[in-house]
Structure 1
Amino acid sequence: MPDPNPSDPEPRPTRSTGKRLFNRLTAFLRPAPPADRKDIKAVLDAAHDQSVLDGESYAMISGALEVADKTVSDIMVPRSRMDLLDVSRPLAELMPDIIETGHSRFPVYENDRDNILGTLLAKDLLLALSDQQFDVRGLVRPAVFIPATKRLNVLLHEFRSNRNHLAIVIDEHGGICGLVTMEDVLEQIVGDIEDEFDEDAEKTIFRTGDNSWRAMGSTDIEVFNDTFEVSLPDEDHDTLNGWLAEELGHIPRRGERLEREGLLLTVVSADSKCARWLHIQRQPQQTHDDAA
């Protein structure tokens, strides 16, 4: 006779209980998604270490993340290194500076370097090449001013939306402290964008012809001597600027020249503090017949 009260077998887990167990197992096997940028960076580092990402891709993604953490002050060209154009000078006088520096855009000032009127695009000058007396003022575009504290990701968005490529950086007191370009921001993501006018961070002397060069005023005298096999004195001065100032008896001015050891040095760009660029020309060596 069957037992009227058979013992119930062990109850089966309900479907909801099984789902919870599955979710817990899945969570255990699958790591949690990154919670912040630090976690994302850790994932990128691991992917790079395991060769999932190549070096270039890793650098670009990392750079894109870091842009949001950097401000304009981290990458701007400082005021002392800005190449400016004086709107009061005729175009014929400005052209050597424009050609020598090789920039595509220049801040333009009037009377004082802090009085920025706007920006001049070198390509706009093509319209005026036939008229050397053309007034540069008519080509000046409005300047864009931004604070040094602006974040780079915000600036990049503004550059793109406003179709602008250069901004003047101002400090908390409203003074000019530098400039920044779209290229400067993009280089934080993709690395250095080099063109034929870019300057090596370690290089200050650039060949422009068979017997001509351009050199920064900040060039170390030792480097200058090694490059040209000359012996300018370096006991009292470290740079060309210091040596030039002593030789001339004043701060070098644009157009001034010095000849030393077969080299003709011409100041092609200068400000109130120093010479910025010099043109170096190796003079042809005179033979006895030439000298006679």
Structure 2
Amino acid sequence: MLTSTVLQALALTGLTLAALLLVWFSLTLAATERAVSRVTRASLNNLILEIQTDTETSRFTKVKKIRKVQKVQELIGDRFATSGSCVFFRILSNVFDGVLFACIAFLGQGPLWAVLLIGLLGAVLVAVISILVRRSSSSNNRPVEVMLRHARLIALAVRLTPFATVKEGQHSSKSRKGQEELSDDEELEKIQLEQGRATIDRLVEANDFDSEVSEMLRNVLTLSETLTREIMVPRTDMICIEQTESLSDLLKLCSRSGFSRIPVIGEDVDDLIGVAYLKDAVRATAFNPQASDRPVSSICRQPMLVPESKPVDDLFHQMQRTRQHVAVVVDEYGGIAGLVTIEDALEQIVGEMEDEHDRTQHAEPEQIGPYKWKMPARTTINDLEDIFEVDIDEDDVDTIYGLLTKLLGRVPIVGMSAVTRGLRLTAVDSAGRRKKVSTIEVEPAQADDLTGEDDDMQHGADSDRADDSVEE
């Protein structure tokens, strides 16, 4: 009788330990199942680089750590197979937990219905706990650490479930169908962005954030999808200065354009010499007036070059690291595509930014003299023709800003003017952070000769259509 009691106690202890071991195994698989979907190849490559450059670690330890990281790289090579193996053994562990709990109840001399109920409730309880662990475990924040800690266990689970591995032929057939696989880091990043947007939408619906904050959060998530070419100032709108110009000319150009950083060029825009800073010119000439005649190339700084296909989030971080506020954008052929500033990247998050010097351009043309009008830069050429009763006849531009740009042959800045069809167009004001000309004054080129009736002004304008002229 005593021997039977001892054997029963030993059996009960063994079943309890086995059940607890399966519970631990199920929770571990739940955590690693979550980590598999969050580890990227880039993070593992960076970790290997850190291990190789660690001067405080011995060579033996480095090799050991690198082998473990390589094991994780093999596991995430097919995320479907690894995740499927984890799910399979987690479910199998839950089932065996239920069986072990039922056996423990049976050894306790319980009735049959109680044995079955305890086994069922035990399996369900372990399954619920594993799901909660999967959602709130450290694998959400430290997936690489979780995978490294349990790499051998997961590798064993994958080897024991060869049916979960996707064969090479199935991979190629999916590729032919154009289906993107989760094992690709780009697809993983896409899924994480979609999850982030869904989380923000839920927070907005719950009124946890106001509309402006939620919009900024959405904009942050779209930075990786926005390319530099979408936010840059195109080369046709760039304000540049030739390298032979003097520092005095640079100061005047900065004053008129409103910019403090001007690209310095040689023969053309593609012949980029560098970037001239207003503060460097002021520092050079403030206490040495003779330095005003020095060429701009003497204060040039090395330009920061970025490809036009660079994502805006990477551009923003690079400008932060290098402490650069302006970068020159190059196309795939090495030509200058445009200019981008750190403010351009910030505007993708917070929206349009204006400083205390920016002015809002007039909504409609305004007459300020007998034959003198002040017009917004976006005023159409048709409106200009109606006001002055002339025929501009320009098919490749639609606004007076475009007309002035065409006449000048470059981006207009405040103070520049040009004459066409007997009318003088003068840039008089700029607005916005990019200091783009916002207001243009239009008047007859020879106002003194046109003080008569309106029909006399019309005749004088028509007679002067032969030549166009440009002034600064």
3-state SS of the aligned residue for 2:269? strand
TM-score, normalised to structure 2's length? Answer: 0.45
Which residue identity lines up with residue 150 of structure 1 in the other structure? Answer: K
Tell me: CA distance 1:114–1:38, structure 2 relative to 1, closer, same or farther (3 Å): same
Indicate yes or no: 2:349 matched with 1:189: yes
Bigger mean CA deviation after superposition, 168-177 or 46-55: 46-55
Alignment of 1:1-292 (within 5 A): 8=111, 10-11=114-115, 13=118, 16-17=122-123, 19-20=125-126, 22-23=128-129, 36-127=192-283, 128=285, 130-131=289-290, 132-196=292-356, 220-221=380-381, 230-231=387-388, 233=390, 236-237=393-394, 238-240=398-400, 258=419, 265-266=425-426, 280=441
Give the match for residue 208 of structure 1: none
In structure 2, how many angstroms separate the alpha carbons of the residues matched to 1:152 and 1:224? 39
Tell me: CA distance 1:181–1:242, structure 2 relative to 1, closer, same or farther (3 Å): closer
3-state SS of the aligned residue for 2:275? strand
3-state SS of the aligned residue for 1:168? strand
Asked if the contact 1:167/1:180 (under 8 Å) is kept, the reply is yes
Deviation at residue 52 of structure 1 after TM alignment: 1.8
Asked if the contact 2:264/2:296 (under 8 Å) is kept, the reply is no
Deviation at residue 148 of structure 1 after TM alignment: 1.0
Deviation at residue 64 of structure 1 after TM alignment: 1.2
In structure 1, how many angstroms separate the alpha carbons of the residues matched to 2:334 and 2:194? 35
3-state SS of the aligned residue for 1:114? coil
Q: Which runs of 5+ in 1 are unaligned?
A: 1-5, 206-210, 269-275
In structure 2, how many angstroms separate the alpha carbons of the residues matched to 1:18 and 1:245? 74
Asked if the contact 1:104/1:123 (under 8 Å) is kept, the reply is yes
Q: How many residues align?
A: 259
In structure 2, how many angstroms separate the alpha carbons of the residues matched to 1:56 and 1:189? 10
Asked if the contact 1:67/1:152 (under 8 Å) is kept, the reply is yes
In structure 2, how many angstroms separate the alpha carbons of the residues matched to 1:61 and 1:242? 36
In structure 1, how many angstroms separate the alpha carbons of the residues matched to 2:442 and 2:250? 21
TM-score, normalised to structure 1's length? Answer: 0.69
3-state SS of the aligned residue for 1:36? helix
Q: Which runs of 5+ in 2 are unaligned?
A: 1-108, 141-189, 366-371, 429-435, 452-472
Asked if the contact 2:327/2:340 (under 8 Å) is kept, the reply is yes
In structure 2, how many angstroms separate the alpha carbons of the residues matched to 1:121 and 1:165? 11
Deviation at residue 233 of structure 1 after TM alignment: 3.1
Which residue identity lines up with residue 388 of structure 2 in the other structure? Answer: S
Deviation at residue 50 of structure 1 after TM alignment: 3.0
Deviation at residue 21 of structure 1 after TM alignment: 5.3
Higher helix share: 2
In structure 1, how many angstroms separate the alpha carbons of the residues matched to 2:212 and 2:196? 17
Deviation at residue 239 of structure 1 after TM alignment: 3.3
In structure 1, how many angstroms separate the alpha carbons of the residues matched to 2:441 and 2:401? 14
In structure 2, how many angstroms separate the alpha carbons of the residues matched to 1:235 and 1:282? 14
Aligned sequence identity (%)? 27
In structure 1, how many angstroms separate the alpha carbons of the residues matched to 2:375 and 2:297? 28
3-state SS of the aligned residue for 1:44? helix
Give the structure with higher Rg (CA): 2
Cα distance per residue 1:9-62 (max 9 Å; x no partner): 6236269546325437869x99xx995211221221222133222112111111
Bigger mean CA deviation after superposition, 146-155 or 127-136: 127-136
Cα distance per residue 1:62-114 (max 9 Å; x no partner): 11111112221121111111111112123344444322221121111012221
Higher strand share: 1
Deviation at residue 221 of structure 1 after TM alignment: 3.2
Deviation at residue 265 of structure 1 after TM alignment: 4.0
In structure 2, how many angstroms separate the alpha carbons of the residues matched to 1:225 and 1:174? 42
Tell me: CA distance 1:103–1:67, structure 2 relative to 1, closer, same or farther (3 Å): same
Deviation at residue 171 of structure 1 after TM alignment: 1.0
Over the residues paired in the alignment, what is the CA RMSD in angstroms? 4.5
Asked if the contact 1:257/1:267 (under 8 Å) is kept, the reply is no
Cα distance per residue 1:193-231 (max 9 Å; x no partner): 2114558799899xxxxx998975x763356689xxx52
Asked if the contact 1:221/1:234 (under 8 Å) is kept, the reply is no
Asked if the contact 2:247/2:295 (under 8 Å) is kept, the reply is yes
**RCO (CA 8 Å, sep 6+): is it higher in 1 or 2?**
1
